[in-house]
Structure 1
Amino acid sequence: MPIAGFDWSATPLGALTSWPPTLRIAVDMVLMSPFPCALVWGPALTVIHNDAYQALLGGVVDHQGRAFDALWEHSWESMGATVFKVLQGQGSLIEDAPLSVHREGNAATAWVTGCFSPIRDDQGVVAGFLHALIETTGSVGASHEWRELAQSFEARLTQYLADPDHTWQLSPDVMLMLEADLSVRTANPAWHRLLGWGEATQLQVALPELFHPADRTEAQLALMALVQGRTAPPFEGRVRHSDGHYCWFRWTGSANQALPTLVGRDITEDRNAVQRLAEAAVRDSQRMEGVVKVAGGLAHEMNNVLSGVGSSLELLERRLAQGRMERVDDYVRMARECAQRAIGLTQNLLAFARSQPLSPNPLNINHLLQDAEPMLRQTLGAEMCLNMQLDVAPWPLQVDPDTLRNALLHLCSNARDACLGKGNLTIRTANERLAMPSEGEAALPPGDYVTLQIEDDGQGMSREDLARVFEPFFTTKSLGQGVGLGLPMVHGFVQQSGGQMWIESTIDQGARVVMMFPRYQGMLPERPARDVLPRQVRGERLLLVDDEENLRGLMKEALVDCGFEVCDVPDANSALGQFRHAGPFDLVITDIGLPGGFSGRQVAKALRMIEPEQKILFITGFTADPVEQALLDQPGTALMFKPFSLQKLVVQIQHMLQA
């Protein structure tokens, strides 16, 4: 019956005209819903439903105005707790519940999913709830049918597999029956699938002859016990595949049949996994030994560097106090050189550990070598002859150009020292295609590679030195002439770039360093023009965010000297406040690791919610994925790794502002 035509004065809700606004709004929602819905209101749980709700329940009795617990008395045992929870303000969902309904004049069972949602009055108190139903009889029935079919199929499959012949045919394990002379009488299909052998009758040898020589004695004793009717313990042994390699199996025998039966499970992959774990443990042990060496060498070198910095600054402070200016420039230069040594030491150590971040770019190796040639000749000196033998059309490769130039400097410096400053150095490039994987420690998969060779005619190296040449802090140079991180740095860089590196050398016959990089399959960008000097500073406004007070102060002073207007803050909250109230800023420079649980990455995202095109320069001392690549790919974004010179910072800022 329609709600307007029902006598509500006879229910706990009273006359329709006395209903509160909250109840009227809820009733309108129920009436407009296409789903079966009922509004249950007040302490008496009075039901107000739409036509779809009445149709779902069926029958000729009108349920309008009835108590909800009386309407659902047959289901109240399972539904009562849910109604109690919804009256406490907690919504619930009951899926695929059985419901007694009337269909075509007969009692029937339907399946429904019911949702119970609390409704609050003007005071925020739960005054009732919405009961919405969706009939799932069709899906539940289909699910039951599928379950019955699955159970029937499972029963038939179990019966099928119980047949021994089916087990023999379908078993993933090798199953053999043996003759008294230990030859194979018959074998199941897994014999061919796992070991490649054909019919057992085609074997010209007894089964023990197929076992690995190291496992043959144990296998023969176990097999002899089986053919003699005795129990043999399970054993593991390698069996020869038809193509000649060996596979590991765990064998179990039974002498209870007419013919002795042997079952073998392939455990080759399990054994290989154990072997890989053992090798990894050995590598970890060796790496820990290397860490100890690195720690000792690094402490020694850093102490030397810090002593140089400290002594230079101490003398500088003393001379300034005395008013003596004659050697001030020398002390500043020595402190700067020591600091540069510390920076180089850190970068080499990170490169050796493959933690130095790289910025790989597609490039032509010939172009890079031609651009670097003046620098290399200066490094080699006047008495070294540099010969460049470059492939006419080298394939492109994708590497970090700055790190590659640094690697070339290391290798040329080593060659100069090996030649005692006088000799010949040849640099070659070539394309090379590997049809098969290369062998040895520097193994490479098949593919296209660009080879870079650096060959000298110096003193060469012994076999013993070659074996240790990539160890950190190992050097053949005199004390004080080398740290022993150059070659490990280059080796780490090449491997991090997807390539391999090795050295070929003989005493008194020079050395050849070979580096192979994978070919880049994309297109090379146009060769950039020579660097153009950045434009003059025009008082651009910068926001500088860094929690290191001393460093922040030095950066601000240098930037102000260049003509920038700089606002500096120590943390993320201050940065957001300045950006809102003191902006706009032409560029934001932010450290990534900030105090207070709010990182530089989050600062950048928050600022770009306010100003989507804000230019941001990240600075950080972290090396392991400090910023998501998706963030760096956004226009107007750059990243600099500490430590860097103040001049380099200024140049980076000018380039970003000019872009």
Structure 2
Amino acid sequence: MTRLEDGVWPRGGGSIGDILRNSGFSGCSLGPVKSWPASLRHIVELVLNSRQANFVVWGPELAFIYNDAYVPIFPERHPGALGKPFAEVWSDIWPQFGPIVRAALQGESQLFEELLIPMRRDGRIEDTWFTFSYTPLRDEAGAIAGLLCATMEVSAQVIAKRRERHALEELRLKSEALSIVNAAGAAITAELNVDRLTKIAVDAGVALTGAEFGAFFYNVDDGEGGSYMLYALSGVDRKNFDKFPMPRNTKVFAPTFSGECVVRSDDILLDPRYGQNAPYSGMPMGHLPVRSYLAVPVKSRSGAVIGGLFFGHAQPGRFTDAAQASLVSLAGQAAVAIDNARLLRAAELEIARRSSIEDKLRKLNETLEMRVASEIAERQQAEAALQQSQKMESIGKLTGGVAHDFNNLLQVISGNLQLLGKDISNDGRAKERISNALAAVERGSRLASHLLAFGRRQPLEPKVVNIGRLVAGMDDMLRRALGEEIEVETMVSGGLWNTFADPIQIENALLNLAINSRDAIEGSGKLTVEVGNAFLDDSYSRTHPEVTAGQYVVLAVTDTGSGMTPEVMAQAFEPYFSTKPEGRGTGLGLSMVYGFVKQSGGHVKIYSEVGEGTTVKLYLPRSFQTEDRVANNEAAPPAGGTETILVAEDDEGVRATVVEMLTDLGYHVLKARDGQSALTVLESGAHIDLLFTDVVMPGPLKSPELARMARERLPNIAVLYTSGYTENSIVHGGRLDPGLELVSKPYTRDALARKIRHVLASSASRRQATTGPGPAPGTTSREGTHDRTRLLLVEDDAFIRMDMAEILQDLGYDVIDAESGEQAVEILTHTAVDIIVADVGLPGMSGPAFAAKAREIFPSVGLVFATGNNHLPDASRFSGSVLLLKPFSSSALDQAVKTAFRQRPIA
């Protein structure tokens, strides 16, 4: 404990105590410590011995004395602030704090909770929040001579609360939007008058988007290219449009009236299609001001365009992706209702003409009522499924985010324990304790892995797998895990399809399900594992909005256990939910299975009855490629080497342990604390064989960009990534990007040793394989597939993208897909491609705009533009590009890719 005795500060009193002792505090208005009054020395003793941030101000100038716990609050001002006048130290915020200090000096004790204080840190002003109290201090005469402050920074808590409120507000807005869509859908579906139902749709659209006005225009061709007829208006008086002619079929309106696509512009005045409506050049004089613009076509079941919903706002950037999605749904409902209204009107005309069809009309009405009831019931079921999906997504984001820092901590602990184990190899008790500690680290790692799996944040390494073969290979393991009292039966259907998923995670999922079944059986019983093919159709997808209709491979695990109640089934996939007694499970098994299957693009379903048992079905998407056979590197003995490795890691503890591990393995190790420091080492001219970099590092230079720049400077360098949480920087669509290598934290010394040898060997093999020129697209190997031609497919429509990817893979191309130009640019920063097939009408960044960026990154890449138009804007900019007109056949697609490869520019 720090004490003041005879005005001398004893040695060992702490850093601030040392300053007082060494300097004698001669620069302070209070004079030397020994001259201080006893009341001041006593309160300073309490402050300096406190572990909470405290300070005292005393005397006419309010000399400022604080403890070591206070230093992190203002490191830039320490130690110069010690003993200085309070108003001088905090001159930048004195206007805010002066009145508070004066009130305290007048005897008023004060408490402030979560007070906003603009704080200067690192040379800039940032918002911080503090909870603190001011207590007046009296001298020996009883007069107020100063004040005591106890404080605590609560910035992180305040920011977390704000983020939580923001997330809840977003959820509320989504719920309100869903409620509006459902209410409007129900009203529209039941309405058979076109005027009224279009007015309902426009009113709902204005409420959903926040538009200043909205309208529905009926599609009428006047024979001169004009499309017009205002049917419904909301937000403004109809007289605002009476003095203007109806919209012509210009470049802005054509995509809507032709049914080509949705048109959304943050600022229509900047849209290249705007202003091309002779005799005007934009909106006519006196027209309502429009900057934000959103137009959605309304299309009949037959495909004909009925009209369009148009919305505008005088301010730019007012319409969001969510608003657009809601309007697309609303337009579909309006189209169905208009079709129904037309059908009824035609029936009424027929009734007037022939009374004999009254019976048919009655049946039609009954059918219509049944369809309305069916659609409402289906929508309610879909809404419930969507709410459950959103709930699981929210929980997944929360649990997945925990693992990043946790894995870094585990890596430091694990690395140091392994290194310590070498130093005490002859101490049996110590080795046993280290072994126990490492086992605890492994349990922590599995816990973090389960959290990442549920949160769909784990970096999967999917392969083309035959699940039947994989399950057969696990038969002995399952029997050992379940014990002799449980009978195990495995059934694999003939003609089983392949799937594209991470085989290790499939094994983990099956083992988790089997262990859950064992615990539910509690004694003797039977476990059945079935593998077969399945097709989930559109009707199933409508009642399960998170499921994409298509072909799947289904893995089903059935037990004869106690079964589940409906309430338990509703919570079964939530993390930490368990019906087992305490100590018999973590509650993470099913949540891990759920997260893995969802991240793999699949679907999970539970069927259970109390007392009858449970079946869990995992649906994984079908793959049309041949099965991958990958060698198991885990069996190889760990080995070191003499190569040079550059370690880029921002966490000091992790960096220190991995450097010592690699040095112990014989490698020459260079180190860097971030991407920019690593780039400096790369540019120093040092010979480096492998870059070992953390995925998530501070600073502007991210690890994928660092790897790309490293290969530019050292073409033969190998790259190995590591992370406890990838945050999608090298994982897209739940899959590790092709050609990348990753070792997940925490890793053991042996696992790191094997992975580094594997990456170095693979790099050497690639260099040897690429010493001669490779074949062009269209050439085939003996198996008839294309040799290593990498193709990037950019298409925003999920169904078109999925179909094209399968066609291209069947043609033998190595396909990477992206749903937007922005995502495709991110992929190109760390992945080289030979050919790009891009849709012209991409949302956000257009196809040509993306192609221009792609040519900046890879000047010799081949380009194929897919479009429904017969020409490409600015085609002269893209030399050698090929135009592929929709719709196209697989042979036309293959021929376009081959032509683009032959015509690509030579860099």
The TM-score with structure 1 as length reference comes to 0.53
Aligned-residue offset at 1:399: 1.0
The residue that corresponds to 1:559 in the other structure is 662
Counterpart amino acid of residue 517 in structure 1: L
Counterpart amino acid of residue 427 in structure 1: V
Aligned-residue offset at 1:521: 2.2
Distance change >3 Å, CA 584–CA 408, structure 1 → 2: same
Give distance in 2, aligned partners of 1:607 and 1:285: 42
CA contact (8 A) 2:520 2:562 kept: yes
The residue that corresponds to 1:546 in the other structure is 649
Match of 2:622 among 519, 540, 546: 519
Aligned-residue offset at 1:361: 1.6
Q: Which moved more, 1:392-401 or 1:519-528?
A: 519-528
Aligned-residue offset at 1:592: 2.7
Aligned-residue offset at 1:377: 3.1
Match of 1:332 among 417, 422, 434: 434
Give distance in 2, aligned partners of 1:294 and 1:242: 46
- Determine helix, strand or coil for the equivalent of 1:431: strand
Aligned-residue offset at 1:645: 2.5
- Determine helix, strand or coil for the equivalent of 2:586: coil
Q: Give % identity.
A: 29
- Determine helix, strand or coil for the equivalent of 1:551: helix
Give distance in 1, aligned partners of 2:676 and 2:278: 59
Give distance in 2, aligned partners of 1:628 and 1:287: 18
Give distance in 2, aligned partners of 1:145 and 1:473: 61
- 1:609-628 aligned at under 5 Å gives the runs 609-627=712-730
The TM-score with structure 2 as length reference comes to 0.40
Once the two structures are superposed, what CA deviation does each residue of 1:363-421 show, in whole Å capped at 9, x if it has no partner?
11022223333433332234433222122331001111121111112111112212235
1:202 aligns with 2:350: yes
CA contact (8 A) 1:351 1:490 kept: yes
Match of 1:471 among 568, 574, 583: 574
Q: Which moved more, 1:517-526 or 1:405-414?
A: 517-526
Aligned-residue offset at 1:533: 2.2
1:245 aligns with 2:371: yes
CA contact (8 A) 1:621 1:641 kept: yes
Aligned-residue offset at 1:351: 2.0
Aligned-residue offset at 1:589: 0.4
- 1:475-514 aligned at under 5 Å gives the runs 475-514=578-617
Once the two structures are superposed, what CA deviation does each residue of 1:323-376 show, in whole Å capped at 9, x if it has no partner?
994532332222222222222222222222223232222111022223333433
Once the two structures are superposed, what CA deviation does each residue of 1:274-317 show, in whole Å capped at 9, x if it has no partner?
999999789767876x589979xx99xx9xx99xx99x99xx99
Counterpart amino acid of residue 525 in structure 2: G
- Determine helix, strand or coil for the equivalent of 1:350: helix
Once the two structures are superposed, what CA deviation does each residue of 1:155-176 show, in whole Å capped at 9, x if it has no partner?
xxxxxxxxxxxxxxx9969xxx
CA contact (8 A) 2:689 2:716 kept: no
Distance change >3 Å, CA 484–CA 586, structure 1 → 2: same
Aligned-residue offset at 1:537: 3.4
Distance change >3 Å, CA 555–CA 371, structure 1 → 2: farther
Distance change >3 Å, CA 445–CA 541, structure 1 → 2: closer
Distance change >3 Å, CA 388–CA 597, structure 1 → 2: same
CA contact (8 A) 1:426 1:454 kept: yes
Give distance in 2, aligned partners of 1:504 and 1:360: 27
Aligned-residue offset at 1:576: 2.6
Give distance in 2, aligned partners of 1:408 and 1:278: 28
Aligned-residue offset at 1:425: 1.9
The residue that corresponds to 1:655 in the other structure is 758
Aligned-residue offset at 1:656: 0.9
Aligned-residue offset at 1:574: 3.2
Q: CA RMSD in A?
A: 5.0
Give distance in 1, aligned partners of 2:729 and 2:367: 50
Distance change >3 Å, CA 324–CA 478, structure 1 → 2: farther
- Determine helix, strand or coil for the equivalent of 1:329: helix
- Determine helix, strand or coil for the equivalent of 1:425: strand
The residue that corresponds to 1:229 in the other structure is none
Unaligned regions of 5+ residues in structure 2, if any? 1-274, 284-304, 309-336, 763-907
The residue that corresponds to 1:372 in the other structure is 474
- Determine helix, strand or coil for the equivalent of 1:519: strand
Give distance in 2, aligned partners of 1:633 and 1:294: 23
The residue that corresponds to 2:20 in the other structure is none
CA contact (8 A) 1:460 1:505 kept: yes
The residue that corresponds to 2:693 in the other structure is 590
1:602 aligns with 2:714: no
1:357 aligns with 2:505: no
Give distance in 1, aligned partners of 2:749 and 2:738: 25
CA contact (8 A) 1:456 1:511 kept: yes
Give distance in 1, aligned partners of 2:699 and 2:593: 38
Q: Which moved more, 1:407-416 or 1:493-502?
A: 493-502
Distance change >3 Å, CA 145–CA 387, structure 1 → 2: closer
CA contact (8 A) 1:416 1:422 kept: no
- Determine helix, strand or coil for the equivalent of 1:337: helix
- Determine helix, strand or coil for the equivalent of 2:508: helix
The residue that corresponds to 2:489 in the other structure is 387
Match of 1:416 among 505, 513, 518: 518
- Determine helix, strand or coil for the equivalent of 1:196: helix
CA contact (8 A) 1:458 1:510 kept: yes
Aligned-residue offset at 1:487: 0.7
Aligned-residue offset at 1:194: 4.3
Specify the structure having the higher radius of gyration (Cα): 1
Give distance in 2, aligned partners of 1:148 and 1:434: 52
CA contact (8 A) 1:294 1:473 kept: no
Distance change >3 Å, CA 194–CA 360, structure 1 → 2: farther
Aligned-residue offset at 1:442: 8.7
Once the two structures are superposed, what CA deviation does each residue of 1:160-212 show, in whole Å capped at 9, x if it has no partner?
xxxxxxxxxx9969xxxxxxxxxxxxxxxx9767442224233489x9xx99x
Aligned-residue offset at 1:629: 6.3
The residue that corresponds to 2:222 in the other structure is none
Unaligned regions of 5+ residues in structure 1, if any? 1-142, 152-169, 174-189, 212-238, 248-267
Counterpart amino acid of residue 343 in structure 2: G
1:455 aligns with 2:558: yes
CA contact (8 A) 1:504 1:512 kept: yes
- Determine helix, strand or coil for the equivalent of 1:481: coil
Counterpart amino acid of residue 201 in structure 1: L
CA contact (8 A) 1:534 1:655 kept: no
Give distance in 2, aligned partners of 1:422 and 1:367: 27
Distance change >3 Å, CA 471–CA 196, structure 1 → 2: same
Aligned-residue offset at 1:596: 3.6
Give distance in 2, aligned partners of 1:293 and 1:580: 40
CA contact (8 A) 1:361 1:398 kept: yes
Counterpart amino acid of residue 353 in structure 1: G
Q: Which moved more, 1:419-428 or 1:196-205?
A: 196-205
Give distance in 1, aligned partners of 2:620 and 2:538: 16
- Determine helix, strand or coil for the equivalent of 2:623: coil
CA contact (8 A) 2:601 2:621 kept: yes
Counterpart amino acid of residue 245 in structure 1: R
CA contact (8 A) 1:196 1:241 kept: no
- Determine helix, strand or coil for the equivalent of 2:518: helix
Give distance in 2, aligned partners of 1:423 and 1:278: 35
Distance change >3 Å, CA 286–CA 423, structure 1 → 2: closer
Distance change >3 Å, CA 650–CA 639, structure 1 → 2: same
Match of 2:534 among 427, 432, 435: 432
The residue that corresponds to 1:112 in the other structure is none
CA contact (8 A) 2:397 2:455 kept: no
Aligned-residue offset at 1:536: 4.6
Distance change >3 Å, CA 149–CA 286, structure 1 → 2: closer
